[in-house]
Structure 1
Amino acid sequence: MRTNKKAQIRLAENIMVIIIFVFILVFGIAFFTVYQKQTSGTKHKEREEKAASSVLAKIMALPELKCLSSTGQEEVNCFDLYKVKVLNAENHTQPEFIDHFYDIMLESKVSLETLKSEIDEIFTIYENEPVVKHDTLTKKMPVFLYDPINEQKYYAILKLDYYYVR
């Protein structure tokens, strides 16, 4: 009878150890899953931030927008007002226009808003919204808008709305 009780106690101990082990295992898997989901979300967000920054840098270097000083030198962070007006007047739904700039600007909207000046306008340089709405990442960059006829500079904000899939 005594060996029977010892066996029952050992069996109960083994069952308790197995239950505790399974509980720790389930808790560990749940914790690891939540951690992985957060980490992958953060990495995805960082990747999209880099992609949007890359698109913004490419836009800043576009010769179609760059302004030249009176000496013929390219100015940093400066767009030519009349070049911007021409791109603003283009029909952004034309496939040729979108195809020409797609490799640079991808699926995004690029606009230029003047600040506290006589112009006071918002120019849409490029607009290619995806068919299926994605998440949007907005980046802004201060730039100059140069009027070569009047030789005046205006402050403006270059705004990039970058569309991406989560």
Structure 2
Amino acid sequence: MKNRKTTRLQARIGRRRAQIRMTETIAVLFIFFVLVLFGLIFYSKYQEGALIAKDNELFEKRVIEATTKVLFFPELACTDGKAEVEDFCFDVFKLDHIETYLEENRDYYFQIFGFAKIDIVQIYPEIDAELQEGEEPEGKWIIYDVPKQTDEEGGRPEVKATQFVVSLQKGKNSSLGLVTVGGYK
């Protein structure tokens, strides 16, 4: 009789131990998966920040490349009548007519500049002239302007601009100009 009672008691104790071990295993697995979940959330937030930083870096690089292309733009470069081109110099006669040329070849220049605004302003000597209605200001040229449409939320696209000082030549006269290249993100 004792053996039977002892055997039953041992069986009950064995089942309870098994239940306790199973509960411990489930608790450990639950904690493990919670830690894995926190790790995934942290990693996704880190990756999101890294992607935004990389996107901004590529955007700034694109704007700088567009600025470099404008500074060495053969359609605007000053020449001395020979084949030599002067660095960082734009011919004002070419500036006066480049906008219509770029508009005629819009697709080609869109491949070069993308969504951007390029303008040049004469900064020295300053031009003081009162404008009549409909007149364009002298000493200011908008060479290229292809704005990006507003984003999904209806806000304006982000603009990053770079500026560079160039020489402007009109015949024998020289002046200083400021080139502004703004890229739309």
1:133 — aligned with what?
150
Q: Is 1:99 the counterpart of 2:121 in the alignment?
A: no
Given candidates 69, 92, 115, the residue that maps to 1:58 is: 69
Structure 1 residues 153 and 71, CA gap change in structure 2 (3 angstroms): farther
Q: Cα deviations across residues 30-50 of structure 1 (Å, max 9, x unaligned)?
A: 111112212222222222222
Within 2, Cα distance between the matches of 1:146 and 1:51?
Answer: 25
Structure 1 residues 12 and 99, CA gap change in structure 2 (3 angstroms): closer
1:136-147 aligned at under 5 Å gives the runs 136-147=158-169
Q: Cα deviations across residues 129-154 of structure 1 (Å, max 9, x unaligned)?
A: 23x32533423232223233343231
User: TM-score with structure 1 length normalisation?
Assistant: 0.78
1:17 — aligned with what?
28
- Residue 129 of structure 1 aligns to a residue whose secondary structure is coil
Aligned-residue RMSD, C-alpha: 2.7
User: TM-score with structure 2 length normalisation?
Assistant: 0.71
Q: Does structure 1 retain, via aligned residues, the 8 Å contact 2:63–2:162?
A: no
Q: Is 1:124 the counterpart of 2:142 in the alignment?
A: yes
Given candidates 152, 170, 173, the residue that maps to 1:151 is: 173
**Which protein shows a greater Rg?**
2
Which ranges of structure 1 fall in alignment gaps of 5 or more residues? none
1:35-54 aligned at under 5 Å gives the runs 35-54=46-65
- The size of the alignment, in residue pairs, is 159
Q: Does structure 2 retain, via aligned residues, the 8 Å contact 1:59–1:104?
A: no
Aligned-residue sequence identity (percent) comes to 25
Q: Does structure 2 retain, via aligned residues, the 8 Å contact 1:66–1:79?
A: yes
Instruction: Quote the offset at 1:14 in angstroms.
Output: 0.9
